[in-house]
Structure 1
Amino acid sequence: MYGNGRTVLAPRESRGEIRAHSESELVGFIDQSLRDFTEPSLGPIAEVRDGAIAGPLASMVFASGKRIRPLFVVYGAALGGARELDGALARVATALELFHTFALIHDDIIDNAETRRGSPSLHRMYGAGAEPLPDHGEPEQQARSLAIVAGDLVLCWADMLFQAGLDGCPGARAARALFDQMKTEIMVGQALDICYERRLRDLTEEITSRIIEYKTARYTFLRPMQIGAAMVGATDEVIDRCRHLALPLGRAFQLRDDLIGAFDDGSAGKSGTTDLECGKPTELMRYAVAAASPADVDALLRTVGRPDMDLAEIEQVREILITSGAVKHVTDEIEKSTSAAMRALRELGCEPWLEERLAAHLERLSVEPNATEMYRSRIGNPV
C-alpha cells in the first residue's frame, strides 16, 4: 500500500503468468498501475491555480506511449526466472515509466520543444493562456519554472514507487544500485548532449557513441532489463549477459530516432525539425560534417542549430544529409547493430516466448531496403 492509502497490487497478488499476456495487455497493466498511483498523488497540487497545474501534468503522465522501459523491466524479470506479474514487478516497472516522464518534461524544456507525443509539451501547456504572477516574470518563464517543478515532482514519485516495489524482493539491493546508476548515466548523457549542441566540428564518433550509450542504450534497454532481472534474484552472470543484447539494441533505436528527428513528417508524434534547430550532436550530423563537400559543410554550420531555420534551409540540410552519405551510413549502422543484437538474443538462452517478444522489438528497427529514397521523398513536403 502506498503512502496515499491506495493499493495498485498487493505484493503477492498476481495477474497470472507474464507469458500468457500479450505485450499490449502488459502495457495496459502498466497504464492502470500508473493511474492508480498517480491520480491520488496529484491531490496535493490540485488546488494550485484551481487545478491548472495538476491537469496538464496528468495529461503528460497518462499520455499514451510505447512503455518500452517498463516492458523491459518485465522481460528482464522473466529472463531472471520470474513467471508471474505481481504487485512488486508492476510497481517497479511503473516507476521506470514515471522516471521517463520526468526526463521528457525536462528534456522538452532544455530543447524548447513545442510538442511531445503529438500534444503540446508540458511547459507549452502551462504557458497557454497563463497570466503573469506578481513579481515572477513573464508567462513563458513562469511556465518553464512550473514545468521544472512538475518534473521534479514526477521524479520523486518514481523514486517512491520504485522503493515500494522492492519491498521484500530477493534482489532489492542490487536493483536499487542499478536504478541509482541509471539515474547518473542519463544525467551524464544529457550533459554531453547539451555541451556538444551546435558544435558540429567538434563531434567525433567516440563522442556520439558515448551520448547514444549513456542517454539511450543504457537508460532505455540495459538498466531496465537488468533491474527486472536483479529484483527477482537473478545471478550476476544473467544480469551481465543483458548488455550483449541491450547495448546494440539501444544504439539501433537511437540512430533510428535521429533519422526521425531530422526527417519526420509528423507521423511519429514529434517535430521533424527540433533536432536540426537545436543542433543536436547526432551520429547523422557528425558523419555529414565529416563527409560533405566544403560548401555543404559551410551550409550546415550556417544553418543547423538556428531556431529560426526556414523551410528552404531545412530542405537544404536534409538534402546534404542524403548526398553526403550520412543517411546511408546511419541506416547501415542500424542494420549492423540490429544484427549484433539478434545474435546476442539467440545466445541469451531465454525461453522461446521471450525470445520471440524481444526479436519483435528488433524487427521493428529494421531499415527499409530503399530507406535513402524514402527520406529523400520527405524533402519538399511540409513539416
Structure 2
Amino acid sequence: MSVRKRAWATSKGEQKTAWVVDYVDAKGVRRQKTFKLKKQADAFAATASVEVREGVHVADSDSVTVNAAGKFWLASSISRGLERSTVDQYRQHLDLHIAPLIGEILLSKMTVPAVRAFEDRLRETNRSPTMVRKVLVSLGSLLADAQERGLVVRNAVREKSRARTKGTERRQERRHKGKLKVGVDIPSPAEMKAVIGALEGHWRPLLLTAIFTGMRASELRGLRWSDVNLDRRELRVHRRADRYNEIGKPKSEAGERTIPAPPIVINTLREWKLSYPRPYSNEMDTNGNRQREKPDDAHLVFPNGSGKIESLANIINRGLIPVQIAAGVVDATGEMDDQGKPLFRARYTGMHALRHFYASWCINRPADGGLGLPPKVVQERLGHSTIVMTMDVYGHLFPRGDDADELAAAERSLLGD
C-alpha cells in the first residue's frame, strides 16, 4: 500500500495536486483513492491496511447507498418471519426518517461521526427522544444486515459509545414523557371503582379482565378458553393478536406468563362462558340461518359478534370510552351542546390506562387497597422483559419505606421505647 503525490495541469494551465492511496484489496483487486490532503490519505491508508489484512475491507465502489441497503434489510426482515407490524415499523423508519436524511450516503461513509450527525439532525427536525432512539436502533439493524452481506465493514451505530449517553438519553426520554400520574395517566382507585360499577353487557368480562390482570389489549384479543383455568383461577398468556388480526406469540419470552385472577374476574368469566359469541358453523337452522358452533376451548374468550377477533378500535370506542362516560370519569371539553350544556370526554382514551392501574394496584400497600408485591413479581405479572423497564415506568409508585410511621418504628427499634 503506497501513498503518493499526484500533480497535473488543467486545460487552462492551472496546477493541481492530490494524494493518491494505491493498494490491493482483500479480493486481489487494485484500488486507488484520492484525497486533497496528505494527512487524510495517511489516515485512510493506515485503516485500509488493517482492514485488508483482516479481510473486511469494502471499497467505496463496492459499497451501496443506505437506501439500497434498506431494501435488502426489509427483504431480510420479511424472510426471517418477523411480524407484519414490525416490518411496517421498519419501513416507516426507513421511508420517513432514514431515507430523507441519509438515504443517498454510501454505507462506507457511515462512520461514528456520521451517525452522531444523523442523530443531531433527527433532534433538530423535532423528532421526539423516543423516536430518535427507535430510528437509531433500526439503522443499527440495517447496518448489521449490510455487514452480513459484505456491503460495509463496521456497524457505526453499535460502535458509537453508549456507555456515556445511555443514562442521559433515558433521563431525557423520561423528562419528555414525564412520570405517570394518578388521575392523569393512571386511573385512581375511586375512578376505577366507579368504572367497575358501570360495567355491563358484552364489555364487562373483557374490561374486568384487563383491570385485574394487566393484560395488553393484543393479549386479551388473542386469549382462548384453553388458556383460562377457572378452577385454579389463573390465565395463561402465550398468544397475541396484532393490529392486522393475525395471531402470534408475544414479542418476548417474558411476555409468556401465567397471571392469577381475583374472584370477580373468575366468576364473571364463568357466566360469560355460557353465552359468549361463538363462530358460525356451516349448519343451518329451520329458518335457513347459519348456526353457531358448539362451545370449544379453542374459541376466543373475547370475540366480536361473529366469534372472530375483536378490533382494538371497537374495544376502545364501544367499551372503554362509553363506560367512563357512564361512570362520570370524564373531563370537560370546554364546548357546549345545542342546549348550552357542557360537553365531556372520557378521561382515559387507551387500554394501557387499565394496565397502568393494574401495575399500581400490584404495587400499592395492602393498607392502601393494593397487593404490596415486590418489583420482581410486578415485572413478571406485567410481562416486562427486564426489571429495569418496570422500575423506569413504575419505580416512583413503590412505597419508599421512609414515611413518618416507618421512620418512627425504625427509631423505636433502634433506640428502644
Instruction: Flag whether TM exceeds 0.5 (same fold).
Output: no
Q: Highest CA radius of gyration, 1 or 2?
A: 2
Which structure has more RCO (C-alpha within 8 Å, separation ≥ 6)? Answer: 1
TM-score relative to the length of structure 2: 0.21
TM-score relative to the length of structure 1: 0.23
The structure whose residues are more often strand, as a share, is 2
The structure whose residues are more often helix, as a share, is 1
